[in-house]
Amino acid sequence: MKAANEARKSAALLGLGLDADDGQTRITRGKNFFLLGGSRETHGFMQETAVKLNERLERRGKQLHDVSISELRDICRDVSESIRR
């Protein structure tokens, strides 16, 4: 049993797009991510990245707060490359 004062681990991704020039406000929330702003293309890229990242974590049986920074970096690189193909 955990001690009452032991903090729960949590983590989330924050995506900020700053290239919107069409006056639209784009917001997407999902499991462990919050995306704000961006052009239609940028926001779509952020959405796809967040969803695929969660899929990869699920396949590994991990949560975002379980992975190291280097492992997260590797997953993000793989996801980004797969989207651009």
Q: What is the pLDDT of residues 19-73, one digit of tens each?
A: 999 999 999 999 899 999 999 999 999 999 999 999 999 999 999 999 999 999 9
pLDDT in the model for residue 9: 85
Token output for 80? 């980004």
Q: Of 82, 62, 85, whose CA–CA distance to 72 is shortest?
A: 62
Q: Of 57, 27, 63, whose CA–CA distance to 43 is shortest?
A: 27
pLDDT in the model for residue 67: 95
pTM given for the model: 0.83
pLDDT in the model for residue 23: 95
pLDDT in the model for residue 29: 97
